[in-house]
Amino acid sequence: MICHITTRAAWEAGQATGLFRSPEFDEFKFIHCSPCEQVLMVANAYFAGRTGLMLLVVDPARLTSPVRWEPPHWSGRLPGFTDGLLFPHVYGPINVDAVVRTAELVPNETGAFVMPIPA
């Protein structure tokens, strides 16, 4: 399984059409994802304190778009935990039937995230 963090509005738009595209898809031409075991590090590095977020758990075997495992893509300074790691990038929309679980990501009182209980 791989994970993607997005806004509730973007996920709802994807559900309405059957194909999810992240808000930054047009800029990067792929959807940034993470291995599930690294998603909290990603959430806390890039989304700390943000509300209105959803965690999508995606089964890569169900995707109609290709997945490539590549170094992280970021124009700014990368967090240290990314050194030497590869991340899954989905080169196309995520068909919503490939999303096997979702959960709301809610920061705690310090702005950090803890693992949510999937819906």
pLDDT of residue 85: 79
Task: For the chain, list the strands marked E by DSSP.
Answer: 2-7, 19-20, 31-32, 34-35, 53-58, 67-70, 87-90, 94-95, 99-105
Q: Tell me, yes or no, if the pTM score tops 0.75.
A: yes
**β-bridge partners, 32:** 89
Give residue 74's pLDDT.
Answer: 62
Residue range 63-92, pLDDT digits in tens: 999 999 998 766 555 555 666 778 899 999
User: Residue 46 — pLDDT band, cuts 50, 70, 90?
Assistant: confident
pLDDT mean across residues, the chain:
89
In the chain the domains, ranked by start, together with CATH numbers, are: 2-105 (3.20.170.20)
pLDDT of residue 118: 57
Asked if pLDDT for residue 94 goes beyond 80, the answer is: yes
Let me know: does 36 contact 72? Beta carbons within 8 Å: no
Q: Which of 10-14, 53-57, 100-104, 111-115 has the lowest mean pLDDT?
A: 111-115
pLDDT at 96: 98
How many beta carbons lie within 10 A of that of residue 57, not counting itself?
A: 18
DSSP class per residue in 6-26: EEHHHHHHHHHHTEE--TTHH
